[in-house]
Amino acid sequence: MAYTSLSAMRNSICLPNMALSDKSNKHNEFCFSFGNHKSTPFFKSPRSDHFTLTNVATPSPSVAPPPSDRPETTATHGGPHHPAWTSILQDRWEGELLVQGQIPLWLKGTYLRNGPGLWHIGDYNFRHLFDGYATIVKLHFENGRLVAAHRQLESQAYQAAKKHQKLCYREFSEAPTPSNFLAYMGELAGLFSGASLTDNASTGVVKLGDGRVVCLTETQKGSIVIDPDTLETLGRFEYSDTLGGLIHSAHPIVTDSEFLTLLPDLIRPGYLVVRMVPGSNERKVIGRVNCRGGPAPGWVHSFPVTEHYVVVPEMPLRYCAQNLLRAEPTPLYKFEWHPESKAFIHVMCRSSGRIVRSVEVPLFITFHFINAYEEEDEDGRVRAIIADCCEHNADVSILDGLRLNSLRSFNGQDTLPDARVGRFRIPLDVDASEYGELEAALDPDEHGRGMDMCSFNPNYLGKKYRYAYACGAQRPCNFPNTLTKLDFVEKKAKNWHEEGAVPSEPLFVARPGATEEDDGVVISIISEKNGEGYALLLDGSSFEEIARAKFPYALPYGLHGCWVPKR
């Protein structure tokens, strides 16, 4: 059931459109804060009678956003590209926003979101969503007020590209063009050593138990520490152990007491399960999983845990050394699809590192696991592991569907591949079947047969849970375009949708002291097709809008975020 009254509400409060290059437009006024500029940021509308003003900043001279002359903004299908897929307008901005609605007074802290926000260097356009240079976005909530900011992550890859106006490191689908044969051989040598791999930490951002905030991607060198208040890049997170390797899971499991991640072994196909404690940069091995099929380990973008176990997925979408060496992308980029190698789920004891179960499961494709828990019988004995993920029906076309050209060329035809909430059941009984189950946790039509970018109440990590929040689909579309609340007990979904809007991952923040699982707020950043954008807050229980605040211009689509409580 769609939450449809929002479009009508928005029509009653929308601001007149303003071309980003029109500095004389009197309907909107903006003031920006660049770097250490001390002027008070300000966003003002003449229609203020339609707003509940929870934060009023002191007016200061109006400065319009810079005009966009970037090559990827050229018209397609009669209009400009959707701002979700258009490079950020400037490398940094900060300002306090006016809020329509009410921000809960208990919401005190900072939402950080990471993602690719710059998809061009000079006149060269990147080709894939995952190639863009990282843009960090901040939403700071305190006393019902909202201060927003964004800033480019100063990775080595970004700094080199900015300096030389060309690609200097290997990104997801891009490789530098060598000037001669010797340069080509040097670049290959750098690939084997990891020197030519990107450190563009554009995938996620996590708060470690010791308070450090780290941006991450799948290359280990792409672990970069930032200041959550200023968004300043502080330096690379250097692992002090000798485990080596070039890649790791883009999504570790992070709590106040530990950091868990997987290190794929491309030489002897398998995975190291490692742990790091707060205050340390040293990862220690819990155990190793040997792959049961294929020429290489399966791609492991994320993985789940329960209270006592680490769940290690082995997909038939496997790393491919030959594709890593190529200068031009293949249809599956750095991977190959090996359905003949089958798919497996391994279950490791978190304390001993012992493999307690390794079963074959139906073929699957997933970027993101949601959560997992231990299924108990009436006597309290653990009989199985339940693990949920955003599963793409074993359809590898989802990777190529994230090419920027495809995302920018939506013409009303439905091209988004189907997806579901895949629920694995892995039996733990000694005499149980050697096969695990995989089925839909609820009817995929509940969320439009689109599903990705998920979160849940972090207090239920590794425990039996009822609710999750994700991006679904209202078709026709070429990308997930709704925010969805999933109820695994009622097997129903509530969906938020606005025509032409592209929402980022919904992040759930629990209300302090809450006793109900869905007592909290859901935060998302919305890019609108008219060139505008806003921060959105939904009630975690009713899934109805409680507040929104417009940015001075739309931000590009982002990937993953985290919550940093006020210290």
Q: Which residues are annotated as a binding site for Fe cation?
A: 251, 301, 368, 560
553/533 Cα distance (integer angstroms): 6
Sheet holding 270-276, edge to edge: 253-254, 259-265, 270-276, 284-290
In single-letter form, the type of residue at position 497 comes to H
- Binding site, by residue number, is 251, 301, 368, 560
Q: What would the two tokens of residue 36 be?
A: 């250490």
Q: Of 513, 504, 510, 502, whose CA–CA distance to 563 is shortest?
A: 510
Q: What are phi and psi of 269, to 5 degrees?
A: -50, 120
Q: How far apart are the C-alpha atoms of 477 and 82, rounded to whole Å? A: 13
Q: How far is CA 154 from CA 135, 161, 202, 426, 442, in A?
A: 9, 11, 11, 42, 42
Task: Please answer whether residues 476 and 469 qualify as being in contact, where contact means their C-beta atoms are separated by less than 8 angstroms.
Answer: no
How many Å from the N-terminal Cα to the C-terminal Cα in the chain? 39
CB 485 within 8 A of CB 494: yes
For 435, other C-beta atoms within 10 Å of its C-beta total 12
For residue 261 the two structure tokens come to 């991640």
Q: Is 77 left (phi over 0), alpha (psi -120 to 50) or beta?
A: left
Q: 463-467, long-range: CB within 8 Å, 24+ apart, which pairs?
A: 463/306, 463/307, 463/373, 464/373, 464/374, 464/386, 465/371, 465/373, 465/517, 466/517, 466/518, 467/517, 467/518, 467/540
Residues 6+ apart with CB under 8 A from 427: 357, 359, 383, 384, 433, 436
SS3 assignment for 88-145: CCCCEEEEEECCEECCCCCCCEEEEEECEEECEECCEECCEHHHCEEEEEEEEEECCE
Q: Tell me how far apart the alpha carbons of residues 170 and 135 are, in angstroms, rounded to a whole number.
A: 18
Both structure tokens of 288: 């190793």
> Do residues 363 and 394 lie in contact, with contact meaning Cβ atoms separated by under 8 Å?
yes
Say how far apart CA 250 and CA 560 lie, in whole Å: 10
Spatial neighbors of 148 by CB under 8 A, at least 6 apart, are 94, 95, 96, 97, 137, 138, 139, 140, 535, 549, 551
Q: Does an H or E element contain 390, and which?
A: strand 382-391
Q: Is residue 94 a contact partner of residue 136, using CB atoms and an 8 Å limit?
A: no
